[in-house]
Chains A and B, each alone.
Chain A
Amino acid sequence: MSWVTQTLASSLGRKVIMSLTGLFLCTFLIVHVAGNLQLFKADGGRAFNEYSYFMTHNPVIMTVSYLLYTSIVVHALMALILTRHNQASRPVKYAYQRPEANSPWSSRNMGILGTVLLIFIVIHMRTFWYTMHFGPIPMAEYDGKEYKDLYKIVLEAFSNWWYVLFYVIAMGALGYHMVHGFKSGFQTLGLRHKKYTPLIEFLGVYVFSMLIPALFAAMPVYFFLKHVGVIG
């Protein structure tokens, strides 16, 4: 299997690992945003809590979730390895550079954007994932069955203005990360053709860098506005 390790250790192989983990994380975004839209349902959080129960007890979802955690770790570690390698490829820097003349800002700052997202993921998982799994968490009862009331945790977390602001900023970083990352994932795999590249670019810009981050950001903003009483 030496050819496998050799391939994955090459600069192209490392980018393939970035691409596959990154694109897998993109599919997760769709599921995550779609499921969490239930937060907007005016039922006191029942739909969301039942959904949370399903997501933490379904064996298929649980298996995929471990793949997801692994992808995040591998994506971040490989990014670190690649960044160090890339920086070492130019030991003496230019005295004067005008990179804005030849490339978009997001494409040159994926590492910074990714770091913001990693910090976000850690804080986000501490607030919700950790509380859901290890508590303490209040309970809610629907039709005689007990559910962990994650909805209440959401309400509490998003009553904090700085926590809401942090989420909105992180979703901005997600948008910029996606605008370059989504299409680049396909480029790395060699999937570039006039038949489908326009569709990939459309999805990357309008769905992954605008629609999805906007929907995510709308959640903390909505609950904060509810909390301060601007909306009912």
Chain B
Amino acid sequence: MKINLKVWRQKNGNAAGKLVDYKLDNISPDMSFLEMFDVLNDELMHKGEEPVAFDHDCREGICGMCSMYINGRAHGPQTGATTCQLHMRSFADGDTIIVEPWRARAFPVIKDLMVDRSAFDRVVQSGGYVSVNTGSARDANETLIPRTIADEAMDAAQCIGCGACVAACKNASAMLFVAAKVSHLAVLPQGQAEASIRAERMVAQMDAEGFGACSFTGACSVECPKSISLDHIARLNREYLGAKITSEAV
């Protein structure tokens, strides 16, 4: 396959960036999108040019590191998949593909296609945990949880923190991420005790990081590699408003 790429190149967070054209001739349709970038970087290095910086780790859709905004969509044209799970067969021979980094005030560009997603870490640090020791994996099996509840928690816990929700949202809102983190603990007995304070703290941190508000467009859920439902955002709203009315923090 022949592929024309327009890739965002930016030396660092302070430098101005721009889209740069690259042409690739020998791309196999069986390559993953990231392997195509490996080929590009190999060519660039042989020419003595700076390779394109991009995030990646597991390359099997579970780590949440890959983060490209491809042809106007987070993680490209597929739904329910990360960039590493996208293959070149999803494109046609001779296609032009525009690749940009996630765009959000809370996700500043580090270099090229890499962005700093530590805002998510700080949101989780603010309350996305259970503060007492709930034991080891074996102890978890001692607390029996009905299947439907466990499934609900797991649906939310699937969030890999990739930031596609923020990237896809017109407001760069992190509501789906925060909702997933609040939800998966709120429905389980170990997490319920701190559900109120968790919702309050995580929303406060989300706002402090500079994410936008939720317009309920649903773009986040469509672009989420784990297809996390908007039901969780409704639960976050419930948890937060309930917490504000009932919590001890005056």
Q: Which residues of A contact B (CB under 8 A)?
A: 2-3, 7, 10-16, 82, 85-86, 88-99, 101-104, 107-108, 110, 180, 183-184, 187-192
28 contacts between A and B (CB under 8 A): A2-B250, A11-B207, A11-B214, A12-B237, A12-B241, A15-B237, A86-B172, A89-B104, A89-B171, A90-B170, A90-B212, A93-B103, A94-B72, A95-B100, A98-B71, A99-B72, A99-B219, A101-B73, A102-B73, A102-B217, A104-B218, A107-B216, A180-B216, A184-B216, A187-B230, A187-B237, A188-B237, A190-B236
B185 within 8 A of A: no
Q: Does B112 contact A (CB under 8 A)?
A: no
When A and B form their complex, what is the total count of cross-chain residue pairs whose Cβ atoms lie within 8 Å? Answer: 134
CB contacts (< 8 Å) of B118 on chain A: these are: none
B54 → A minimal CB distance (Å):
17
- In the complex, chain B residues 175-204 whose Cβ is within 8 Å of any chain A Cβ: 203-204
A187 and B233 contact, Cβ closer than 8 Å, known pairs A3-B244, A11-B213: yes
Task: Report A-chain residues with C-beta under 8 Å of the C-beta of B249.
Answer: 3
Query: Of A85, A92, A95, which contacts B19 at CB under 8 A?
Result: A95
Apart from A10-B203, A15-B214, A103-B222: 6 A-B pairs, beta carbons within 8 A = A13-B244, A86-B170, A90-B105, A96-B72, A108-B215, A190-B235
Main secondary structure of the interface of A (DSSP, over half): helix
Q: How many B residues have CB within 8 A of the partner chain? A: 49
Is A190's CB under 8 angstroms from B234's CB?
Answer: yes
Q: Of the candidates A92, A96, A107, which one forms a contact with B215 in the assembled complex, judged by CB atoms under 8 Å apart?
A: A107
B152 to chain A, nearest CB (A): 13
> B residues near A, CB below 8 A?
6, 8, 19, 69, 71-73, 77, 98, 100, 103-106, 168, 170-173, 203-204, 206-207, 210-219, 222-223, 230-231, 233-241, 244, 249-250
> Chain B residues near A190 (CB, 8 Å)?
234-239, 241
Q: Which residue of B is nearest A106, CB measured?
A: B217
Query: Which B residues lie within 8 Å of A92 (CB)?
Result: 103
CB pair B217–A107 under 8 Å, yes or no, is yes
Q: What's the least CB distance linking A101 to chain B, in Å?
A: 6
Residues of A within 8 A of B8 (CB): 95
Q: A189 to chain B: which residues have CB within 8 Å?
A: 237, 241
